[in-house]
Structure 1
């Protein structure tokens, strides 16, 4: 067994124990849910029993996770640098857990467009939090003020646009795969989170 195999083995054992404790379960309770004996689970957690694929699959199910998540290794690059778009006042980060998602930090100075034709609609979901200032979200026929530290989540099939109110604001937006693609296709440089 190589050093990295030993590290992965130790990581998986720690992960099983941490997930069990996060659920508030005793060894006995998880063992029962996974159809294992309490002593087998104890030996798995403390490294006295070999990690077998069939046990890992059963434990992953009992812990409401996947085998992939249970055995995934830590990413080498913990820190991600943003891509900066100075013309739009945006910084964009990819989300490693789901390459289709992205996070955008945007500084806005203009109010949302008055023209409903400039509002966008496309498949997906967006989440945003106002970091500073006040943002206005136009969502269908609604006008929603979002203050500093408030958040919004909405389906992007509703026509939408966002802008600042009463001065500049900074917004952190999270876009699922479909929302990100919708904004990339319709990118016109107007006041919007994408």
Structure 2
């Protein structure tokens, strides 16, 4: 990103947050301890704010510093599993489609998981605080979490702390298809 472009992005984000919160420039200056003229210049992209100025603004608005420099994500994003390249494991019997991969500052990611008949996939433990949410769309999965085994069928879901060893198995005659959300505590 060029410097001018970055100034425009910072200004646009600041103006957007101020508008969403119904704040005047005077009130924003009061919250952030940054002068009203400086805030106006930043919003118009006319000023190259220092890191310390951005920190003051972020702290005053109680938003992460990166709020002002992250690339803008589309307001709406539509995905189609058929158009996503799957991650393949176990010689193709496990297919993982990253529907909504983890983004910076988002504590989750969403996958579509397909286990072919006979699949038995061992997953290593995740970091402490990570949770998995699995909802079965089709078929049945047998999940072994720590030392407990659960059978989860079509239309059912399960949530578990994923810092334990866990295993996914499809003992049925058809593909087991699930939507999986992995949540990362912040």
Out of 36, 48, 52, the position equivalent to 1:51 is 48
Alignment-derived partner of residue 87 in structure 1? 92
Alignment-derived partner of residue 19 in structure 1? 17
Out of 36, 40, 50, the position equivalent to 1:42 is 40
Give the gaps of 5 or more residues in structure 1.
178-194
Relative to its length, the structure with more strand (as a share) is: 2
Structure 1 residues 123 and 30 mapped into 2: Cα distance closer, same or farther (>3 Å)? Answer: same
Contact 2:117 2:176 in 1 (8 A): no
Contact 2:125 2:166 in 1 (8 A): no
TM-score (norm 1): 0.57
Q: Does 1:106 align with 2:103?
A: no
Alignment-derived partner of residue 162 in structure 2? 156
Question: How many corresponding residue pairs?
Answer: 164
Alignment-derived partner of residue 125 in structure 2? 122
Contact 2:135 2:178 in 1 (8 A): yes
1:126 offset after TM fit, Å? 4.0
Structure 1 residues 18 and 111 mapped into 2: Cα distance closer, same or farther (>3 Å)? Answer: farther
Q: Measure, in 2, the Cα distance between the counterparts of 1:144 and 1:25.
A: 50
For residue 82 of structure 1, give the secondary structure of its aligned residue in structure 2: coil
1:173 offset after TM fit, Å? 3.3
Q: Measure, in 2, the Cα distance between the counterparts of 1:158 and 1:91.
A: 20
Contact 2:38 2:47 in 1 (8 A): no
Q: Measure, in 1, the Cα distance between the counterparts of 2:30 and 2:153.
A: 47
RMSD of aligned C-alpha atoms?
A: 4.3
Q: Measure, in 1, the Cα distance between the counterparts of 2:142 and 2:22.
A: 44
1:34 offset after TM fit, Å? 0.9
Q: Measure, in 1, the Cα distance between the counterparts of 2:22 and 2:136.
A: 37
TM-score (norm 2): 0.59
Contact 1:92 1:102 in 2 (8 A): no
